[in-house]
Amino acid sequence: MTQVNQHRYLGKARKSVDGIEKVTGRARYAGDVNLPGMLHGKPALSPYAHAL
């Protein structure tokens, strides 16, 4: 395999397989998943920078 054939996809346009779903709002993301018994959490952050 030559150096040119090794990178045949670099710099070329690629067809987006989920573009329509993302544009129309039908795409599902990890934040959209709700399962029974799922727990949600929020980190408790200090209001003071570098505080001990």
What SS3 state is found at 12? Answer: coil
Tokens of 8: 């045949």
What SS3 state is found at 10? Answer: coil
Per the confidence metrics, is the pTM higher than 0.85?
no
Tens of pLDDT, residue by residue over 28-52, are 998 889 999 999 899 998 899 998 7
Tens of pLDDT, residue by residue over 13-25, are 888 888 899 999 9
CA distance 34 to 43: 20
Whether 27 and 18 have beta carbons less than 8 Å apart is answered as: yes
Tokens of 6: 């090794």
